[in-house]
Amino acid sequence: GINGRSSLLFLDAATVRDKLEADPWIREATVQKLYPGRLQIDVTERKPFALWQEDGRVSVIDEDGTVLEPYVARRFVSLPLVVGKGAASRASEFLKLLSNYPQVKSAVKAVVFVGERRWNLRLGNKLDVRLPEHGLEDALAVLTKAEAEDHLFSRDITAIDLRLPDRLTVRLSAEAAKAREDMLNKDKKAKRKLGDA
């Protein structure tokens, strides 16, 4: 609202600051009148941190969860994707923890906040990893070790569950479950034949 004919004397610096800070991209603004005819404006911008998806809508958020844009421009597609109610404000803490486990982080396509209390990982190969509400570091360490030793992410499974502290469980894909069942049935038949002989 400032033009070449505006009087610096009648300009309300607080109102100008409030208008600037109403823009979600501006974290903080200071406005100073420097008489006789200068106005100094300093702004601290927010930085895009992640993409947040809730109810099918994707937004760009900063580190504290403030929505910067209600849509996704092409320049933001490389940002991490966080999904779910409450995920925007909790994503920073979780993504910092996840960065301590680069082998896992490199496979993650999205992190999903479940029930506003715990996280799931969605890997690029559509494998779901269910993490516990408490003991996240231990669960991520177990997951990292399992991937390093057993190449768990490339197995024929659809889910890994780490919610129980004393075990890691997996869900086989439909094809792998059928192959396992066929193998077990074949073993049973072979044992019966041996028992008959």
Q: What distance, in Å, lies between the first and last C-alpha atoms of the chain? A: 97
Average pLDDT over residues 163-188: 82
User: pLDDT, tens digit, for every residue of 125-166?
Assistant: 999 999 999 999 999 999 999 999 999 998 889 999 999 988
Model pTM?
Answer: 0.78
Partners of 169 in beta bridges: 161
pLDDT grade for 33, boundaries at 50, 70 and 90: confident
Closest CA to 89 of 52, 57, 59, 119: 52
What does the pLDDT read at residue 10?
A: 81
Residue 35 makes CB contacts below 8 A (sequence gap 6+) with 8
pLDDT for residue 124 is more than 80: yes
Average pLDDT, the chain: 89
Closest CA to 77 of 100, 58, 98: 58
User: pLDDT, tens digit, for every residue of 34-50?
Assistant: 888 788 999 999 999 99
- Residue 59: both structure tokens together: 């937004």
What does the pLDDT read at residue 196?
A: 59
Q: Helix, strand or coil for residue 24?
A: coil
pLDDT for residue 189 is more than 90: no
pLDDT grade for 193, boundaries at 50, 70 and 90: low
pLDDT grade for 176, boundaries at 50, 70 and 90: confident
Return the residue matching tokens 């982080």. 105
What does the pLDDT read at residue 192?
A: 66
User: pLDDT, tens digit, for every residue of 48-106?
Assistant: 999 999 999 999 999 999 999 887 788 898 999 999 999 999 999 999 999 999 999 99
pLDDT for residue 1 is more than 80: no
pLDDT for residue 19 is more than 70: yes
Report the C-alpha gap between 90 and 109 in whole angstroms. 17
Partners of 172 in beta bridges: 157
Report the C-alpha gap between 96 and 136 in whole angstroms. 12
- Residue 27: both structure tokens together: 């974290």
